[in-house]
Structures are given as structure tokens and as C-alpha cells.
């Protein structure tokens, strides 16, 4: 048996939404991360709650790249496709590289399945896949045979085929079974029969691959060199959840999440509900408005109040956001963006809520807007959003999206003792007490827990009298308070990091990106610079206010090109803020950018500039 060393590999698991594809992909990616590989994943869920089985609209897929070097995306295309049925093959074959491997479950290619997928003939034997290597067997039947001695219903036994296939894939890539067996033992400790069935299926798949020698060789992707510490995979929603738990611990305040279930943000509610032992309180409200108001009420009572949602829910939360602006209370709103408008594409990714986050409130209501760059970065940005909200007594919108929320990457688990959260605390002991007397440094008002002796005050949505906080309808006071609130938010720029960027002002083109475009744009810029192109790159995490040095960076370039998953939103903010003719490359397909498309766009743009000169 020949062992072939690979620097990286991209594989895709695909099947019906009931085939356990997401679990299969998650287990393999977690396995790779714990062995020291760098990992990036791209789960792809059906948009319908329960699409008809065997149809392309019901395909669930999980793409991942694992590598012995640093990577930034889940890959543009894959070299191995595991297809559980004809619809999975139909949906994903266009992204399989020429000569790539198809591992197909014959059970999913019945005449009915083939017709439902839109094929006229069986693609596995009609010659249409001649450019690929195909391995076909009835993995469902083999799973049933390997578990026939167990006293389980046939339907439940068939569900174990994902672990049979996982066993095959682990053999192909020379991976041990022990970590997955241990996980199954822990996960199903209360369901012994299910645990035993999946372990048997896993071993059966591994042994099948070994005894049949489906390959004349196996493959190995080594760990990233000098990668030390405890690593695991983490999704964006998980990272946000853990980040807010950590922030509450550092702030020494209880964490309260008020939320209403909505794709793709629901996992934040699910995750945080498991951490009651850390004093986390979760409240599933009857609607989005109630969820936001409950979180704001928790902040008023002295907790770190947060609320999670997606685009349609953010629309509903705006009145509560305005109340938070007026009362100047800390509140973090996590918006996991998805395709819109309305219910749009619930399981697909987009960055189309930026303008709404900036301006979607009545009156002049500025507030900070942050955006996470990767699944692991969600942890850091949860800490940042909490720091800014509590330091400056303001609501903060933290933007994620479906790609970050559901995708995962390798994460070095930090030492909690080394995590700091530097909050600039105003002097709370100034006498006499006035609720809107501002700190001279942060311009924020005091955070007073109700019932604090000597600090009784009125609160509500009416305009406040400067300093005293009493309701006021005075025109000059409204002018003053509007300006004070705006100056407070603008002043945050002095308390956030300066904008880093790759390259230098000697380069002729600056590329800007934000949010989940980070990975693809970073990989593309790295590739283009290695080819000798004079381009620079800045990725924005702080969108309001912008970092103090961003204007200087942008002024150093004649041409600015913005990549974003919407119809020209950040580019309009850049044009308005810095009075430049920035251009944009946009995409609203519900999918993240591919590196190759970014590379082509930059080359085409540069050629146009050269032709113009």
C-alpha cells in the first residue's frame, strides 16, 4: 500500500437532508483539527424545512478543506465527492475537479432517484462522468449487513450509513478511529444501542475500505508545523456564544440572552441555554420585539444584555434599539445575516444588512457597528462588542452571516486567564448624582443598577434633559443631546485598534473587504501578490465608526476596489465618507466568493485601468 503525502485536500459530503451529512462533515473536520490540520468548512443546508427526499432542493452538503499549511477558505472546488444519492451528485458535480473521485452509494441511484434528480439515465454508468474516478457500492446495504445482529428497527440502522462512510473516508486519509469512537461513547452514553450501532458501522466502513482495497494507495495530510496548544473546530455561532460568556465573566455581570428562533441565528440560543452553570440566562420570547426589550431590560437591571437575530428580526427590533439609544444603555444585537429581502434565502449567506445596521432607525440614532471576519474571529468580536457597549453605554450591532455562523475553522482554545476586557469605567461617585452627566473621556453616562441608594432617576423613550435626565421638549436641548450622542459614538474611534493592511502605499490598488469575505479575499490577494501584482488589502471589522487611520490609508491609493456580498453597500459608505470614486465587485448568489473569481476580477479590473491609461 502506497502512502501519498498531500499538502491539503478538499472534500464534499452530500446527500439528502435526512442522511446525517452535517454530522458526518462536522465529525471529520473536528477530527482533522484535533490532529493539527488547519481546517475551514462550508456547510450548505436546504432552504426548505423539509424538501422532498431525493430532489436537488433537498440536498444537504458539507464541504471542507484541511491542510498542513494555513488556509483561509473551504476551497473553490473539491477533489473528492461523497454522493449519497443522484440529487447530491447533480447538485455538486460542477465543483468536482477533473479527475476527482466520486464515492457513490448505489442505494441512492434507483430509477426513482435518478428521475427525481433530473437525469434521464444513470450518470454512474452512462459515460457522462468519464473524466472522473468513480467508486460505487451499496453502502446502505453494507451498513445494514454489518448491524444485522443488533435489535434495532431497519430505519434506525440505515441512519448509521453516514458513520459507515466516515469509516471509509478515515481509512482513505490514514486517520485513526479512536477519536471518533470516543466522541460516540460520550455523545450517546445514555443511548447504548445507538452508540454501539454507530461504532460498529464506523469500524465496518473502515474494514471494508481496508479489505476491499478500494484504493491502491492511501493519503496523508500532516499537521501544520509548530502548531502547539489545544485546538478544536468552532463555528461562528459557537464562538459568539463562548465569547459572550467570557465577556460576562470578565465584566463580572450576569449574561442574559433574549431571543426568538430564526435561521441562521438560532444556534446561539441553543448553545447558551446549555451554560446555566455559568449563570447564563436565556429567554425565548414570543417575538423579536419582546426578545430585544427583555435584553434591554436585563441591561437596565445590570446584566450584560444581548439579543440574537437575522435580517427580518432586526427589522422588528428597531424600536427597542431606538429605546436603547435614547436611554443610553448597553445592548449587543447579533445579526446573523442571510439572503433577503423578507424571508429571502433563509439558509444562504449574504451581507445585505449593512445599510440597515447603519441607518435603520427613526431619528438620528448612531450606534457602533462591528463585523466578524471568520468563525473563530466571532469569539474576539463578541468580546469587543461587549467592551464597547458597556464602556460607552450604547447599543452595538455585531454583524455575522450564514457562512460564518454555520461554517467552522480550527481554533486555538485560549487560556481564560490571559483574556482581558479593558473597560473604561466612568467615576460613579461624583456628587450630586445626575444620570446623564457624561464622563469626560468616553462621553458615556453612568450605568446605575436600579435600587442603588442615592441614584434614583427617571428613564424612558422621551428626550432627556442634558445632565439631569428629566424628560425634555426644549428645542435647544434636543439639538444638544443629538450632538452629544453622535459625538460619543464618533469618539469610539479613539478606543478601537488602528486599521491594519497588507502591502504598502506604493501599490497601485487597495482592496477593501469586510465580514465573511475575509478568507476568500485574503487568499486571492496572497496569490496575486505572489504573482507580482502591486495590490494592497485592508479588511474592515469596525464599520461605525471607522478606525482613525483608515482615511490616511485610503488617501494613499489612486484606486480602491471593494468586495462584498450585497448590491454595493460598503462601497457607498466609503464613497460618502472619504469622497473617493471607489469601485465594487458584488455577489448576491447566497454563496461566498470563490478565490478564483476574486483573482479574475482583480486582474480584469487592473487590465481596464491599464487600458484606460
Is residue 476 assigned to a domain?
no
Cis peptide before 502 (omega within 30 of 0): no
Whole-number pLDDT of residue 355: 98
Q: Which of 318, 319, 313 is nearest to 336 (CA)?
A: 313
Q: Give the pLDDT confidence of 60-100 residue by residue, as tens digits.
A: 999 999 999 999 999 999 999 999 999 999 999 999 999 99
Q: If you average pLDDT over every residue of the chain, what do you get?
A: 95
Angle between helices 518-530 and 595-612 (to 10 degrees): 60
Is residue 373 assigned to a domain?
yes
Residue 540: CATH number of its domain: 3.40.50.920
Q: Give the pLDDT confidence of 187-239 residue by residue, as tens digits.
A: 999 999 999 999 999 999 999 999 987 777 889 999 998 778 888 999 999 99
- Whether 424 shows a pLDDT value over 80: the answer reads no
Count the neighbouring beta carbons within 10 Å of the beta carbon of residue 528: 20
Q: How many domains does the chain have?
A: 3
Residue 194, all three cell numbers: 445507538
Q: Which of 479, 380, 499, 493 is nearest to 442 (CA)?
A: 493
Based on the domain organization, do 530 and 393 belong to the same domain?
no
463-480 mean pLDDT: 97
- Whether 50 shows a pLDDT value over 80: the answer reads no
Whole-number pLDDT of residue 613: 58
- Whether 151 shows a pLDDT value over 90: the answer reads no
Residue 557, all three cell numbers: 491609493
**Which among 221, 256, 279 is the end of a domain?**
221
Based on the domain organization, do 92 and 27 belong to the same domain?
yes
Whole-number pLDDT of residue 461: 96
Whole-number pLDDT of residue 428: 64
Helix (H) or strand (E) holding 452: none
Based on the domain organization, do 26 and 160 belong to the same domain?
yes
Based on the domain organization, do 151 and 31 belong to the same domain?
yes
Residue 17 binned pLDDT confidence (cut-offs 50, 70, 90): confident
Q: Which of 47, 46, 29 is nearest to 38 (CA)?
A: 29
Based on the domain organization, do 217 and 251 belong to the same domain?
no
pTM for the model stands at 0.95
230-256 mean pLDDT: 96
Whole-number pLDDT of residue 427: 64
DSSP secondary structure letter of residue 111? H
Diameter over CA atoms, the chain: 86
Residue 584, all three cell numbers: 465594487
Whole-number pLDDT of residue 339: 96
Whole-number pLDDT of residue 430: 74
Is residue 140 assigned to a domain?
yes
| Strand pairing category for 96-105 and 78-83 | parallel
- Whether 1 shows a pLDDT value over 70: the answer reads no
**Which among 418, 440, 461 is the end of a domain?**
418
Based on the domain organization, do 387 and 534 belong to the same domain?
no
Is residue 479 assigned to a domain?
no
| Strand pairing category for 583-586 and 231-235 | unpaired
CA 83 → CA 80, 130, 134, 180, distances in Å?
10, 16, 11, 21
CA 502 to chain CA centroid, nearest Å: 23
Based on the domain organization, do 211 and 249 belong to the same domain?
no
Is residue 502 assigned to a domain?
no
- Whether 297 shows a pLDDT value over 80: the answer reads yes
Contacts from 501-504 at CB under 8 Å and sequence distance 24+?
501/536, 501/537, 501/538, 501/553, 502/529, 502/536, 502/537, 502/538, 503/529, 503/534, 503/535, 503/536, 503/537, 504/536
Classify the phi-psi angles of 393: left when phi > 0, otherwise alpha if psi is within -120 to 50, otherwise beta: left
Residue 412, all three cell numbers: 486555538
158-176 mean pLDDT: 96
Is residue 323 assigned to a domain?
yes
Helix (H, G, I), strand (E, B) or coil at 348: coil
- Whether 571 shows a pLDDT value over 70: the answer reads yes
Count the neighbouring beta carbons within 10 Å of the beta carbon of residue 149: 7
Helix (H) or strand (E) holding 218: strand 217-221
Residue 48 binned pLDDT confidence (cut-offs 50, 70, 90): confident
Is 190 buried (19+), middle (13-18) or exposed (0-12) by CB count in 10 A?
exposed
Q: Are 7 and 26 in contact (CB under 8 A)?
A: no
Whole-number pLDDT of residue 610: 81
Q: Report the distance separating Cα 256 and Cα 308, nearest Å.
A: 11
Helix (H) or strand (E) holding 126: none
- Alpha-carbon torsion angle 273, 276, 281, 282, nearest 10: 10
CA 493 → CA 378, 399, 496, 562, distances in Å?
20, 18, 6, 22
Based on the domain organization, do 198 and 266 belong to the same domain?
no
**Which among 192, 221, 250 is the end of a domain?**
221
Q: Are 43 and 407 in contact (CB under 8 A)?
A: yes
The sign of the CA dihedral 595, 599, 601, 602 is positive
Based on the domain organization, do 194 and 273 belong to the same domain?
no
Whole-number pLDDT of residue 53: 83
Which residues contact residue 39 at a Cβ distance below 8 angstroms, ignoring those fewer than 6 apart? Answer: 29, 32, 33, 64, 65, 66, 67, 71, 233, 408, 409, 410
Quote the domain boundaries for residue 269.
233-418
Q: Give the pLDDT confidence of 332-341 residue by residue, as tens digits.
A: 999 999 999 9
Whole-number pLDDT of residue 440: 92
Count the neighbouring beta carbons within 10 Å of the beta carbon of residue 513: 27
The sign of the CA dihedral 13, 17, 23, 26 is positive
Amino acid at each position: 500500500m502506497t502512502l501519498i503525502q498531500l499538502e491539503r485536500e478538499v472534500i464534499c459530503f452530500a446527500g439528502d437532508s435526512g442522511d446525517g451529512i452535517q454530522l458526518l462533515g462536522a465529525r471529520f473536520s473536528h477530527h482533522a483539527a484535533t490532529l493539527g490540520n488547519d481546517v475551514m468548512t462550508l456547510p450548505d443546508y436546504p432552504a426548505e424545512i423539509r424538501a422532498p427526499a431525493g430532489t436537488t432542493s433537498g440536498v444537504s452538503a458539507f464541504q471542507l478543506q484541511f491542510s498542513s499549511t494555513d488556509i483561509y477558505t473551504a476551497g473553490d472546488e473539491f477533489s473528492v465527492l461523497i454522493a449519497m444519492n443522484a440529487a447530491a451528485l447533480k447538485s455538486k458535480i460542477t465543483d468536482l475537479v477533473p479527475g476527482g473521485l466520486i464515492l457513490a452509494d448505489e442505494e441512492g441511484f434507483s430509477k426513482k432517484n435518478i428521475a427525481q434528480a433530473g437525469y434521464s439515465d444513470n450518470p454512474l454508468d452512462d459515460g457522462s462522468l468519464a473524466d472522473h474516478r468513480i467508486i460505487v457500492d451499496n453502502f446502505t446495504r453494507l451498513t445494514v449487513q454489518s448491524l444485522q445482529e443488533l435489535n434495532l428497527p431497519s430505519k434506525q440502522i440505515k441512519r448509521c450509513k453516514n458513520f459507515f462512510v466516515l469509516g471509509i473516508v478515515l481509512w482513505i486519509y490514514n486517520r485513526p478511529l479512536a477519536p471518533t469512537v470516543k466522541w460516540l461513547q460520550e455523545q450517546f452514553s445514555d443511548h447504548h444501542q445507538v452508540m454501539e450501532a454507530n461504532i460498529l458501522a464506523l469500524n465496518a466502513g473502515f474494514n471494508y475500505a481496508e479489505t476491499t482495497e478500494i484504493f491502491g494507495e492511501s493519503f496523508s495530510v500532516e499537521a501544520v508545523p509548530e502548531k502547539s496548544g489545544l485546538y478544536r473546530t468552532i463555528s461562528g455561532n459557537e464562538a459568539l456564544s463562548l465569547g459572550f460568556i467570557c465577556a460576562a465573566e470578565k465584566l463580572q455581570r450576569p449574561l442574559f440572552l433574549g431571543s426568538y428562533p430564526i435561521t441562521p441565528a438560532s444556534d446561539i440560543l441553543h448553545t447558551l441555554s446549555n451554560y446555566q452553570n455559568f449563570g447564563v440566562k436565556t429567554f425565548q420570547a414570543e417575538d423579536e420585539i419582546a426578545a430585544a426589550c427583555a435584553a434591554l431590560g436585563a441591561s437596565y437591571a445590570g446584566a450584560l444584555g444581548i439579543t440574537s437575530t437575522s435580517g427580518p428580526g432586526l427589522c422588528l427590533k428597531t424600536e427597542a434599539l431606538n429605546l436603547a439609544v435614547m436611554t443610553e444603555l448597553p445592548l449587543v444585537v447579533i445579526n446573523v445575516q442571510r439572503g433577503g429581502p423578507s424571508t429571502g434565502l433563509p439558509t444562504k449567506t449574504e451581507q445585505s444588512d449593512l445599510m440597515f445596521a447603519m441607518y435603520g432607525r427613526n431619528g438620528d440614532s448612531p450606534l457602533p457597528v462591528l463585523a466578524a471576519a471568520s468563525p473563530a474571529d466571532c469569539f474576539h468580536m463578541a468580546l469587543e462588542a461587549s467592551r464597547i457597549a458597556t464602556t460607552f453605554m450604547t447599543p452595538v450591532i455585531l454583524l455575522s452571516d450564514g457562512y460564518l455562523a454555520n461554517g467552522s475553522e480550527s481554533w486555538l482554545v485560549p487560556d481564560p486567564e490571559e483574556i482581558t476586557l479593558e473597560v473604561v469605567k466612568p467615576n460613579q461617585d461624583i456628587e450630586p448624582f445626575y444620570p446623564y452627566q457624561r464622563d469626560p473621556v468616553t462621553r458615556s453616562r453612568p450605568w446605575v443598577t436600579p435600587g442603588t441608594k442615592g441614584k434614583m432617576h427617571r428613564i424612558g423613550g422621551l428626550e432627556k434633559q442634558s445632565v439631569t435626565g428629566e424628560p425634555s421638549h426644549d428645542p435647544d436641548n434636543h439639538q444638544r443631546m443629538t450632538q452629544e450622542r453622535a459625538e460619543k459614538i464618533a469618539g469610539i474611534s479613539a478606543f478601537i485598534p488602528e486599521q491594519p493592511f497588507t502591502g504598502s502605499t506604493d501599490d497601485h490598488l487597495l482592496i477593501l473587504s469586510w465580514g465573511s469575505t475575509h478568507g476568500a479575499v485574503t487568499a486571492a490577494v496572497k496569490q496575486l501578490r505572489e504573482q507580482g501584482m502591486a495590490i494592497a488589502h485592508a479588511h474592515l471589522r469596525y464599520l461605525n465608526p471607522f478606525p482613525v487611520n483608515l482615511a490616511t490609508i485610503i488617501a494613499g491609493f489612486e484606486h480602491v476596489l471593494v468586495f462584498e456580498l450585497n448590491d454595493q453597500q460598503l462601497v457607498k459608505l466609503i464613497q460618502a465618507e472619504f469622497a473617493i470614486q471607489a469601485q465594487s465587485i458584488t455577489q448576491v448568489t447566497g454563496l461566498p466568493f470563490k478565490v478564483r473569481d476574486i483573482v479574475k476580477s482583480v486582474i480584469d479590473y487592473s487590465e481596464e485601468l491599464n487600458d484606460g491609461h
